């Protein structure tokens, strides 16, 4: 569900020259099937990804669809074009499509007030609550900070309901003023799923499957892992644990499917992108949603900052409705990425070229899907001489080395504290700490060790270790999270523990671990 930014550790790469077939300038340069095979093989090895599926759609035809590697390191079942992956936040475009269908039917308007459909909806600021629209819900301009509230979903196993989530939104202090700044969020797309349910009378999952997937003949896809019809060809989730990529527990959400729950394949998603590039049309003229609503989806709604010296001479970035929008070498690009535990994906469209590139992976390496996407995209844009695998490998190595240095320094200090510690009484800081939206956590002694447990998030538990002064480190028991955190205790004027704040240690910790939004007060 989160827009994944962290990358896997990198191994030595095979060096080869990516073959590109030159054609006339009017049709650009087209990458060959053999070159894609080499590209993906090198990507699998470089970024230690078990399995990848790739599809290319050009001029309304699937010209390439193929799987590589293993769907699971446990079974060694091969990936093919029909292997189902969790597409994570690429589900958001399906949610906006569902909203668009309801707009076409006159059941809702994009600029209706959200409280018309969710009367109990409240944000921290009453003005924002009153002015908040359906469009605001879909465009990441709410004023909430990056990933605010995602710990109601991550790690999975939390018991928060949709009603809990809607209620808890009122506790998040804005990180920016309303409609002034882009900050990616997931929780409001969960609200969107509830809007669809209340307006249509169908669950979000039923609506997506019957009103979108069925007409498009996305026969293998489902709106949630629990609803897959045939589990014989489903990718497992993988992540590095203690330096080795292994199968990890699958992320399953019961409340967040409208933000990131869909399972699909490159074969089925090819039908989805063909419809998108035809302004909502499919099957020789049938209309899934109107051209007018499609223009809204691909029209900038929220400005997204772009960096300097961008590789595709990009000047502008924006978020539409469920899609990122930018200019690349003079063409409009429409794309989205997605990430859940052990799976990251990317869908990229260049509508003016009638070109779409779909990359699904079963490891947590955004570098892998980016390298493949960009190398294929370069061939259609007539760009030669760039080695995206090497570029991303170098970036990943640098980022990982920096993060490793930070973590090594922290654990060295923890080890010193452990080695030099005399008998310390941690009893004063044990007890119950309460946060308005995450609820209660318990700091307690277990078998002589200090331990953190979250009442509503069973996987959010781990050992609490002394670090410096009143700051401790939490080493999560669930090791594939890579989200160990500082635990900073505060004290009142009498020296009694009064509160607790958390902060991620590694600069590569995914933003969905929004520890910064927590403010625990000691209650027992």
Sign of CA dihedral 172, 407, 473, 413: negative
- Pair 212, 219: CB distance under 8 Å: no
CA 433 to chain centre: 29
CA distance 87 to 251: 12
Please, which pLDDT band fits residue 54 given cuts at 50, 70 and 90? very high
With vertex at residue 253, the alpha carbon angle to CA 462 and CA 479, rounded to the nearest 5 degrees, is 25
The confidence score (pLDDT) of residue 416 equals 85
Q: Which two tokens stand for residue 108?
A: 């809702």
Q: Is 306 helix (H, G, I), strand (E, B) or coil?
A: coil
DSSP state of 191: H
Please, which pLDDT band fits residue 479 given cuts at 50, 70 and 90? confident
pLDDT tens, residue by residue, 237-289: 999 998 899 999 999 998 999 999 999 999 999 999 999 999 999 998 899 99
Burial label, 224 (beta-carbon count in 10 A; 0-12, 13-18, 19+): buried
CA distance 235 to 248: 11
pLDDT tens, residue by residue, 284-325: 889 999 999 999 999 999 999 998 889 999 999 999 999 999
What does the mean pLDDT of the chain come to? 91
CA distance 438 to 456: 7
Q: Is 522 helix (H, G, I), strand (E, B) or coil?
A: strand
pLDDT at 11 over 60: no
The confidence score (pLDDT) of residue 284 equals 84
pLDDT at 21 over 70: no
Please, which pLDDT band fits residue 423 given cuts at 50, 70 and 90? low
- Pair 317, 305: CB distance under 8 Å: yes
pTM above 0.85, yes or no: yes
The confidence score (pLDDT) of residue 421 equals 65
CA 44 to chain centre: 21
Nearest one of 147, 143, 146, 127 to 180, comparing CA atoms: 143
Q: Go through the domains of the chain in sequence order and give each one's CATH number.
A: 20-143+178-389 (3.40.710.10), 400-522 (2.40.128.600)
The phi, psi pair for 349, rounded to 5°, reads -130, 135
Q: Over pLDDT 90: what percentage of the chain?
A: 81
- Pair 134, 112: CB distance under 8 Å: yes
Q: Return left, alpha or beta for 105; rule: phi > 0 is left, psi -120 to 50 is alpha, else beta.
A: alpha
pLDDT tens, residue by residue, 186-239: 999 999 999 999 999 999 999 999 999 999 999 999 999 999 999 999 999 999
Nearest one of 203, 211, 194 to 104, comparing CA atoms: 211
Identify the weakest region by mean pLDDT among 74-83, 137-146, 461-470: 461-470
CA distance 57 to 78: 23
CA distance 311 to 300: 21
Rg of the chain over Cα atoms, rounded to whole angstroms, equals 24
CA 350 vs CA 60, 304, 329, 344: distances in Å:
12, 18, 11, 21
């Amino acid at each position: 569900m989160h827009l994944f930014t962290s990358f896997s550790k990198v191994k030595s790469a095979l060096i080869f020259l990516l073959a590109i077939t030159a054609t006339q300038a009017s049709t650009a340069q087209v990458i060959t099937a053999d070159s894609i095979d080499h590209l993906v093989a090198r990507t699998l090895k470089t970024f230690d990804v078990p399995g990848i599926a790739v599809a290319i759609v050009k001029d309304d035809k699937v010209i390439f669809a193929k799987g590589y590697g293993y769907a699971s390191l446990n079974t060694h079942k091969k990936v093919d074009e029909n292997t189902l992956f969790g597409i994570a936040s690429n589900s958001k475009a399906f949610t906006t499509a569902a909203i668009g269908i309801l707009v076409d039917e006159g059941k809702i308007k994009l600029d209706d007030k959200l409280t018309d459909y969710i009367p109990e909806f409240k944000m921290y600021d009453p003005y924002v609550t009153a002015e908040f629209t359906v469009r605001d819900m879909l465009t990441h301009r709410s004023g909430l900070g990056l990933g605010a509230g995602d710990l109601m979903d991550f790690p999975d196993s939390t018991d928060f309901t949709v009603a809990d989530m809607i209620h808890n939104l009122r506790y998040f202090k804005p990180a920016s003023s309303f409609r002034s700044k882009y900050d990616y969020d997931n929780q409001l797309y969960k609200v969107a799923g509830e809007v669809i349910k209340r307006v249509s009378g169908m669950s979000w999952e039923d609506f997506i499957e019957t009103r979108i997937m069925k007409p498009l003949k996305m026969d293998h896809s489902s709106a949630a892992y629990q609803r897959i019809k045939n589990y014989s060809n489903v990718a497992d989730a993988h992540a590095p644990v203690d330096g080795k990529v292994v199968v990890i527990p699958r992320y399953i959400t019961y409340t967040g499917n409208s933000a990131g729950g869909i399972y699909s394949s490159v074969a089925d998603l090819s039908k989805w992108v063909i419809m998108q590039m035809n302004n909502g049309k499919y099957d020789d003229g049938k209309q899934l949603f109107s051209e007018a609503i499609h223009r809204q989806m691909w029209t900038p709604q929220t400005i997204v900052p772009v960096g300097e010296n961008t590789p595709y001479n990009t000047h502008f970035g924006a978020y539409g409705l469920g899609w990122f929008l930018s200019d690349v070498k003079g063409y409009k690009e429409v794309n989205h990425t997605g990430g859940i535990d052990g799976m990251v994906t990317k869908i990229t469209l260049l509508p003016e070229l009638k070109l779409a590139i779909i990359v699904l992976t079963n490891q947590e390496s955004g570098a892998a899907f980016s390298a493949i996407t960009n190398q294929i995209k370069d061939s259609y844009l007539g760009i030669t001489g760039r080695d995206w695998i090497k570029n991303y490998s170098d970036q990943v190595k640098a980022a990982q080395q920096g993060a490793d240095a930070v973590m090594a320094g922290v654990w060295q200090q923890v080890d010193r504290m452990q080695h030099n510690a005399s008998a310390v009484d941690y009893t004063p800081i044990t007890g119950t700490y309460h946060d308005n939206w995450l609820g209660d956590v318990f700091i307690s002694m277990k078998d002589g060790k200090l331990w953190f447990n979250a009442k509503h998030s069973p996987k959010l538990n781990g050992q609490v270790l002394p670090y410096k002064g009143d700051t401790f480190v939490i080493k999560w028991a669930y090791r594939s999270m890579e989200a160990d955190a500082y635990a900073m205790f505060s004290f009142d004027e009498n020296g009694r523990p009064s509160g607790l704040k958390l902060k991620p240690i590694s600069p590569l910790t995914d933003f969905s671990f929004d520890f910064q939004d927590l403010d625990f007060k000691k209650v027992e």
